[in-house]
Structure 1
Amino acid sequence: MPPKGKKKDSTPAASKAAPTSSTEQKPPNWPPFRPLIPSSDLSLQQVLPGQIVTIPNFWPASLCKTYVSFLASLPLTTTPGKPKKGEAVRVNDRFQLQDPVFAKRLWEETCLRDLVLGTVETEDGMSLSPDERKDLWGGQVVGLNPNIRIYRYGRGQFFDQHYDDFNNVVIPGDPAIQARTTWTLLLYLTSPATGCIGGETVFYPEPPKGRSKRDPPPEPLAVGLEVGLALLHRHGAECMLHEGREVLAGEKWVIRSDLCVQR
């Protein structure tokens, strides 16, 4: 559980008053999700059981390249170097808006829904019962957070150690769904293969209870950038301390949303 007073992600909650630019901005004309790799060729990989899950090759390199070119045309803004009290230092360029249509497309038009809900079986995928999946994700997953965030990290930019908090959100529909975010979703569009050096997401496991002060702390767990890799990690009360390391060369592009469960 995140210790009280520790620094958090400064992303505004969708349920709170968000800046006008993120709530009233007209959604861009997102490129179609083509091509896509069949669900049967993909699988969820548990990097750290109950905490970190990845989907390698979630998006093919050609689709990632299309999106990087498109996202570069959006009006990104640079985050301030000096954060507010209680917020972690984050230096990057970002674009944020409420776009339930894009969130629904990312959930339904890709293999994400099938993999998360376990409706497609793969040879090397996670073999979990419906109840085990519900326990893993923190409830019945109903979609993605409509709050879409685009991050670009250039050389020298980073996101210091922090915890991701949960948010209560509303997924539009008939009827609308009252939901709560439980896992962060990060979709990496660049990697060393595209010239991006550094920028790994690093997690810091908590020491086991009863550990002696003389025992070394647990080793950090680094998830390196891979083009098209989807990274899911638990957030809220059970979030692990983590950071986005400094980018040393090139650009790190990320699409961010969250898994939502019914509340």
Structure 2
Amino acid sequence: MAPKGKKKDIIAPSTTEPHPLPNWPALQPLLSPLDLTLEHTVPGQIVTIPSLWTSTLCKNYTSFLSSLPLTTTPGKPKRGDAVRVNDRFQVDDATFAERLWSQTALKELVTGETAGATQEERKNLWGGNVVGLNPNIRVYRYTKGQFFDQHYDDSNNVVIPGEPAIKAKTTWTLLLYLTSPATGCIGGETVFYPDPPKKGKNVATPEPISIGLEVGMALLHKHGQDCMLHEGREVVQGEKWVIRSDLCVT
């Protein structure tokens, strides 16, 4: 659980000087939802979806994202923020968020009756009724020597445009990995640190949980008050490309 006063991942507002909306490539080819599964690495905390995107789609997007106006994060973070060294692009694009949600298998896997889960069990898992993804889309590129220090992800209140607009909150972080050791990216694992046992209990400190990069894999992890301390380890070779959004619930 995220203690008060700990370093956080702050989502910078993207409304001051909005970027033109990118002409995102088509989300093709993709695998059928029938060929994909939710893998519960840590029940109630960490879920992965291997091959949510195909390697061909990831390659197309890596090429496209390289053309976006990426900016390098400040070398000295604000007080209370975690140290992050990477290049990033951020835009509010509700249309692309909806495409990423509905045109891939993500919506069906998250809201469908996967593994026999009932509607109430899914609601308890995701923190509410999932209505889509955060329109705030973030693109991260980590090159050799870049990393994201230990931090917690905050929950945020968002509005999903529509008729009517939907007031929602974010409950789970979505990270979509486009590169991996197979593409020449070494390092960059996302590592989670479970809470240590309470004082007085003769229990060993839990081992860190390392999620290695896989091309096309989606990583979902719970954030807000129940977020686990985590980091993005240093990239030692190649480039790590990530698309970031969040699950939104009502």
The interval holding the TM-score normalised by the smaller chain is: over 0.9
One of 187, 190, 204 as aligned partner of 1:198: 187
TM-score computed with the length of structure 1 as normaliser: 0.92
Amino acid at match of 1:75: P
Match of 2:228 in 1: 240
C-alpha root-mean-square deviation of aligned residues, in Å? 1.2
One of 20, 29, 51 as aligned partner of 2:16: 20
Matched, 1:181 2:181: no
Matched, 1:116 2:110: yes
Pairing 1:39-50 to 2, within 5 Å after superposition = 39-50=33-44
One of 51, 56, 64 as aligned partner of 2:58: 64
CA contact (8 A) 2:30 2:54 kept: yes
Matched, 1:259 2:247: yes
Matched, 1:107 2:101: yes
Shift of 1:26: 1.4
One of 86, 91, 113 as aligned partner of 1:92: 86
Percent identity, please. 68
Shift of 1:207: 1.6
Number of equivalenced pairs: 250
Structure 2 unaligned blocks of 5 or more: none
Match of 2:10 in 1: 10
127-136 or 94-103, larger mean C-alpha shift: 127-136
The whole-number CA distance in structure 2 between the counterparts of 1:166 and 1:18 is 17
The whole-number CA distance in structure 2 between the counterparts of 1:215 and 1:142 is 39
Match of 2:161 in 1: 172
Structure 1 unaligned blocks of 5 or more: none
The whole-number CA distance in structure 2 between the counterparts of 1:38 and 1:218 is 36
Task: Output one character per residue of 1:142-184: Cα deviation in whole Å (capped at 9) or x when no partner.
Answer: 0000000000000000000000000000000000000000000
CA contact (8 A) 2:144 2:236 kept: yes
Amino acid at match of 1:70: F
The whole-number CA distance in structure 1 between the counterparts of 2:81 and 2:245 is 19
The whole-number CA distance in structure 2 between the counterparts of 1:225 and 1:66 is 18
